[in-house]
Chain A
Amino acid sequence: MFSRWNWVACGFCLVLNICSPDASSGLVQSCGHIIPESPVLALGSNFTALCILNESCLDFGNIYASQIIWKIKNRLVPKEQYREINRTVSSVTFNDTSSLATPLTCNILADGQIEQNIYGITVTVGLAPEKPKNLSCIVHQVSRFTYVMTCTWNPGRHTFLDTQFRLRYSWPEEIFPDCIPKDVNNSCTITDIQFFVNTEIWVEATNALGKAESDPLVVDPIDIVKPLSPQNVSVSSGILPTVLKLSWENWISDAVMTLKFNIRYRIVGDTNWMEVPSEDTASPRTSFSVQGLRPYTEYAFSIRCMKEDGEGYWSDWSEEKTGITPEDQPSKGPPIWRIIDTSHSPAFWTVHLIWKALKPFEANGVILQYEVTVRDKSSLSCPVKKYNVTSTNHTLQLPEGTYEVTLIARNSVGASPPSVLLIPASNSKAPVKNLRTLPKHDKLWVGWTAPNSYVLKYVIEWCLVSSSSDCIIEWQIALGDVQGIDLKGIKPFKCYLITVYPLYADGQGSGQSVKAYLKQDRPSKGPTVQTKKVGKAEAVLTWNHLTVEEQNGFIRNYTILYKTIDGNETVVTVDPSKTEYTLSSLTSDTLYTVRMMASTDNGSRTGPDFTFTTQKFGKGEIEAIVVPVCLAFLLIVLLGVLFCFNKRDLIKKHIWPIVPDPSKSNIAQWSPQVPAKHNFNSKDQMYPEGSFTDVSVVEIEADDKKSFSEQDLKPFDLLKKEKSTSEGHSSGIGGSSCMSSPRQSVSDSDEGETTQNTSSTVQYSTVVLNGYRDQTPLQVFSRSESTQPLLDSEERSEDHSGGADSTAQRQQYFRQNGGQDETNTDRLCFEGTKQITHADEGDLVGFVQLQISGQSSQPLGFGMEKNTQEAALSSVLQTCTEGQTVRPETVEENLLPVDEMPKSYLPQTVRQGGYMPQ
């Protein structure tokens, strides 16, 4: 068993050696081979291969055809495709070569299980070349004597094989070398071209599966030439202003072929080409005069050529050459218009003549100058005035009238036809009707309806409306038979004012104007609104119109939007012509926010918010409340005053008790033991422990007020002037306490009134002094019938009073005095008295109340003017506040204690050396 396997192994080793890749080299004999060897197969065809085993291997390796298996690459071919032809030959058949791949190997299964390769072949599958189609050739001229022919064709389907294409051409008796394409399979270029001989050209495609030829193309190469374009093209101008002569050189001599040409030209700057009629250039030539050109215009020319008989191809266009035609005289007069300024004087015009420079095709050259001729048609005697102008405007100062202006443009060749403008004294003719505008893309169409009369032409003025600068007028002339033109150069979102004037043969119509936008937008800003007046339920809003630059279109309306803080917004639309609007039905004392929106046809824009607060009260409401209240208050006050006046005595009694003036008491005069002591400095002296037990009232009244003459009052006038302070307070209750010096007062009275008061009667009352605190009164005064004067004043009092006790007079006195006190005497004085009262309330049993009615007091009550009294009051106030020492002195004098009265109290008259009572 071991020996048998060993034998088999050795046999395989032998086969392996035999079937090694270099087996065919001859050094090692192969056990078999495949027929056919490396075939090239047509795609889709059937194919049969045979594997033939060598006889020598049959015995040696025990190998037979029945053991053969076929493989494509590593894939086993189904055994159904095998066929054992004999002991050494096995075949395999493929119905479709598309299933084949490389390599196809023949293998055997030794002992039925060990696979060993016998032989392998490479199978190439592809397609035979298709017949090349659409063969065409063109001969390119590459230089003056050099031509190359390039032929192209359609190579057909891909063959999957290496396919060679070759372009072949021949003469009947001459076969030329083939043209083999490089890198491509559909074109080839032949450099050796001979003209005038019909050449047969065809393409041959060859690969392993076959060869195919295109249909032959028989052509004389001269008939498929694309020549080089003419060279050295030049343009020259001649005498005629509409002709330019074009010259060139041809690359091809007439011996080879004659040419025809195409000439094209255009105005420099224009993109549209014009062509010279082909029949004019259908013959061989080297120059051509192009006619019908515009004078003084630069043209660009280009030329191309081809074989004269039309066989072949047009050359490329030559490079452009330019030339300028000569000048000619201007073909038309410049359009002219005028602007008349009558601002200085209506009767004297400033006429601005303006005209447009002629377009190049109208000017036909360089305009050297313009000649302006002005003829006054209203006065035949006026000479014609001529002006030579180099600019396009001219200003004239002319009196009002009708003028004919003629304008001529002149260049180096000649003058233009004249342009005539009639300037009538007034534009009295019919205007155009129904002036309207319509935007058309980037142009603005202006249309109108012609007047009934024949119109020579129309002048259309337009200008950009601006709030910051003047309207710069542009204008254009339209013929009389048109009723609309397109305005160019119109900017969008700008307002233009367009005016159309009809010009008649004998005058001019008035201008009709319209404002227009080429394109509208929403305003660039909204109106700024503010309040002009705010009421309780209404507010007057004002705003300014948007400037024309801000409008960006026609303002169709304004919209006012207002609301409270938490309320809904209310919208009001306002006519665009208004700048004020009154909001009504507002809530009082409420904060409102208002803003305003301006709208055009293309949108809106809102301005800034503005807030305001409505008032709490309406107009007149406050007045209606305040006035009645004031009136009521005044009424109450008046009633109070009346009441007080009626009850004045009662009030007076409660407020100002009658305080007698101790200085005028007779007691001091009648008490000889009382030392003439006037200083009541200490409080103890003022308020001794002793008190009055009884008080008698001494009333001194004047007999008749009328008894005081003016002379009598004069000293008092003087006194008023000099010593108003003393006078003002000498008679009042508080005034006495405020007097700085009773002595001064008395002495003053003495000096002025001594004589006249001698007749006064003094009624003396008995003053009974009770002992103070069980002390015996020092003195008891009783009524005396003595007529001896005690004091001058007292004498005067006696004279006036006559000893009568008149209650009415007393009341009158107090009324007068009280009035003075109420009005003139300061409250301080009253308070001073009050203080004293409080201080000695328990000590004072009573006061000697002294009513003085006489000359000394009367001036105080009647002779002083109100102002004087006020001045006196001021002085008193001054005195009361500053001279604090005065008031106590006076009070002390008035309230002298009884026990010290003899020592301290002494009437001033006595002290001054007057009468001393016994």
Chain B
Amino acid sequence: MAAADSPSAALRRDLCSRGIRLAGKMRADVVDLLDAYVEQQGLDASASVAAVEGLPLAAVERWDEQTGTQRLLENLAAYRAFRALLAQMLEEQREQLGEADAGLGRALAAVLLQVSAFAYHLEELLRLESRGIPGEEEEEEDGPPPPPRLSLFEQKLRGLGVLRELAQWAVRSVRDLRQLAKPSPATGVAPGLAESP
């Protein structure tokens, strides 16, 4: 049990706080990016997109029963996946549009940076939890295989799905970190909150 005044506790609070705000900003940016993306790609904002393969869903049952570590691990896995997907999207975007739409590319890059930064926050929090950080390479090896070559439209739809899910995850991450930020006697015990993402 970490003392409230210990450096690790302060660092944890700081990481949580910063992570919450980063997730909030990421959500706002992703929402803005979604609008720009839909318009830029000529998609319908109401188009339904199937779940992206290899991407964990933000919605989870019995969310309030999760432990802090579990939350952190799920978040880390999700954002690592987002990082890879967004990097791929950015590459595809550059291939498609070149420098014609630098604004969308910059927005994608900014979101990518935020995802990376959030993943860094999660890793730091996991370190504070004295938990090992799962290796990415291992994940990559064990993770979903490289996506098959998709058509351009499929790429656009997948990108739309990624951004939508990222927006969902941003909301969940804020709530997860708020849960973690609450001073609790045991970080592993999930608080009994009724709210669910």
Which residues of A are at the interface with B, using a C-beta cutoff of 8 A?
145, 171-174, 192, 194-198, 220, 222, 253, 255-257
Contacts and interface: CB of A to CB of B under 8 A. Distances in A.
Contact of B120 (A173, A192, A195): A173
Interface string B6-42: 0000000000001101101101110010000000000
Contact of B117 (A171, A253, A255, A256): A171
B27 A255 contact: yes
Nearest to B28: A255
Interface residues of B, number: 19
A352 B144 CA distance: 102
Contacts of B28: 253, 255-256
B170 to A, nearest CB: 10
B18 A255 contact: no
B181 interface: no
A255 B30 CA distance: 12
B128 to A, nearest CB: 14
Nearest to A144: B32
A173 B116 contact: yes
Contacts of B123: 173
A402 to B, nearest CB: 79
Nearest to A174: B116
A196 B117 CA distance: 8
Nearest to A146: B106
Please provide the 8 A-B residue pairs with the shortest distance between their CB atoms, ordered closest to farther. A196-B22, A255-B28, A197-B117, A255-B24, A196-B18, A194-B113, A255-B25, A196-B21
Given A194-B114, A196-B18, A256 B120 contact: no
B158 interface: no
Contacts of A255: 21, 24-25, 27-28
13 contacts: A171-B120, A172-B120, A195-B21, A196-B19, A196-B22, A197-B22, A197-B120, A253-B28, A255-B21, A255-B24, A256-B21, A256-B25, A256-B28
Given A255-B27, A255-B28, A256-B25, A194 B18 contact: no
A198 B25 CA distance: 15
Nearest to A254: B24
Interface string B110-122: 1001101100110
Q: A172, A194, A195, A253: which has the most chain B beta carbons within 10 Å? A: A194
A195 B116 contact: no
Q: A145, A197, A220: which has the most chain B beta carbons within 10 Å? A: A197
A218 to B, nearest CB: 12
Contacts of B27: 255
A256 B24 CA distance: 7
A197 B18 contact: yes
A220 B14 CA distance: 11
A196 B28 CA distance: 14
Contacts of A171: 116-117, 120
Contacts, number: 49
Nearest to A256: B25
A222 B28 CA distance: 15
A197 B18 CA distance: 7
B32 A195 contact: no
Contacts of A257: 21
A197 B109 CA distance: 16
Contacts of B114: 194, 196
A256 B18 CA distance: 11
A258 to B, nearest CB: 9
Contacts of A195: 21-22, 25
Interface in B93-127: 109-110, 113-114, 116-117, 120-121, 123
Q: B18, B29, B109, B110: which has the most chain A beta carbons within 10 Å? A: B18
Contacts of B21: 195-196, 222, 255-257
Contacts of B116: 171, 173-174
Interface in B50-86: none
A747 B32 CA distance: 169
Nearest to A173: B120
A198 B21 CA distance: 13
A803 B140 CA distance: 208
B31 to A, nearest CB: 9
Q: A173, A255, A257: which has the most chain B beta carbons within 10 Å? A: A255
Contacts of B117: 171, 174, 194, 196-197
A145 B111 CA distance: 12
Contacts of A220: 18
B25 A197 contact: no
A623 B197 CA distance: 140
Contacts of A222: 21
B15 to A, nearest CB: 9
Given A145-B32, A220-B18, A196 B120 contact: no
Contacts of B110: 192, 194
Nearest to A197: B117
Contacts of B121: 196-197
Contacts of B24: 255
Nearest to B27: A255
A736 to B, nearest CB: 161
Nearest to B109: A192
B110 to A, nearest CB: 7
A198 B121 CA distance: 10
Given A171-B116, A171-B120, A173-B120, A196 B25 contact: yes
Contacts of A256: 21, 25, 28
Contacts of A192: 109-110, 113
Nearest to A255: B28
Nearest to B174: A255
A469 B157 CA distance: 95
Given A192-B109, A194-B114, A255-B28, 19 more contacts: A171-B120, A173-B116, A173-B120, A174-B116, A174-B117, A192-B113, A194-B117, A195-B21, A195-B22, A196-B19, A196-B22, A196-B25, A197-B22, A197-B121, A220-B18, A253-B28, A255-B24, A255-B25, A256-B21
B5 to A, nearest CB: 20
Contacts of A172: 120
A142 to B, nearest CB: 14
Nearest to A194: B113
Interface string B123-137: 100000000000000
Nearest to B113: A194
Contacts of B22: 195-197
A409 B153 CA distance: 79
Contacts of A197: 18, 22, 117, 120-121
A850 B110 CA distance: 175
Nearest to A196: B22
Nearest to A223: B18
B107 to A, nearest CB: 8
Contacts of B113: 174, 192, 194
